[in-house]
Chains A and B, each alone.
Chain A
Amino acid sequence: MEQIITYILLALMLIFSVMTVTSGRILRSAVYLLTVLVATAAIYFIMQYQFLAAVQITLYAGGIVVLIIFSILLTHHIEHRMENPVFWKAMISALAALGAVAMIAWVLKDAQSIQNVAGFIPPKMEDIGMALLSYGKQGYVLPFEVISVLLLAAMIGAIAVAKPALLQFKNKNFKQDDQ
């Protein structure tokens, strides 16, 4: 049962990923991408990684897709349909992609160590929290704090780039004097 559903989900992911890439309309691509992300979350659920699945839904399906859609709506020509690539270019790209998939699949087929590493019991939320907050070996508090700096920098960078410069003055009168 589990296997059948997993395969169905994987098939869905594959189909929609291909549609994301090949669709000429950019907004549709975003929606197809959403399907892929939700299906990924479902796979995490099946593997019993509940936390990861929740993260996948809140961040990817919730946040990033919204960001992508807004970014698309910012562009001039949303209704614009992208042209199909030249046949030989598409063929070369397809060959390259297939080659990469074949190589990775070949490598993964022979790799036995994977099973020993991950273990089969997915971590509970509490374990994740403990790992996130402890500072010894296998503790991740330093990356956790550095991520806050990363988020801060991303926020400031986004404002610096996207907010029209003259609207960034605190004092409205000063802005008008200068113009």
Chain B
Amino acid sequence: MNADYILLFFLTGILMVAGGMIMAYMISPKSENKQKRETYESGIPTIGKTWVQFKVGYYLFAILFLIFDVETVFIFPWAVAMKKVGMTAFVEILIFFVILGIGLLYAWKKNALEWE
């Protein structure tokens, strides 16, 4: 049952991409010259390495994102069961939020959210 959906999902995915490419190949006008092959068609050729080292700020944002991502994962089942459990559930999630909220405040005050 579920497997059929997965199969459908994959087939659709493949069809969307492959179909688009085939369509583009079939209907697009074609012209070929040397300049078109360059990375920046109307720019200057790059000198040296094209890879740059990222700033550490990216990493910090990614890890903060991940931490709050984990938080959302916990919120989903909480939200579903909240009505049944009642007040206790509210207190429990409140503790969870406060502790993580302090963390966010801390990150903010530490300039971790600032882009230098």
Contact = CB atoms under 8 A, between A and B. Distances in A.
Say if the two chains contact directly (CB < 8 Å): yes
Interface of A: 1-2, 5-6, 9, 42, 45-46, 48, 51, 54-55, 58-59, 62-64, 66-67, 70-71, 73-76, 78-79, 125-126, 128-130, 132-135, 141, 144-145, 147-149, 151-152, 154-156, 158-159, 162-164, 167-170
Contacts of B41: none
Nearest to B4: A1
Interface of B: 1-7, 49, 51, 53-54, 56, 58-60, 62-67, 69-74, 76-82, 84-85, 88-89, 92, 95-96, 99-100, 102-103, 106-107, 109-112, 114, 116
The 4 closest A-B pairs by CB, nearest first: A129-B81, A129-B77, A2-B3, A63-B66
Contact of B69 (A63, A128, A163): A63
Q: Which of A55, A74, A132, A156 has the most CB atoms of chain B within a 10 A radius of its CB?
A: A132
User: Would you call the interface of chain A mostly helix, strand, loop, or mixed?
Assistant: helix
B111 A132 contact: no
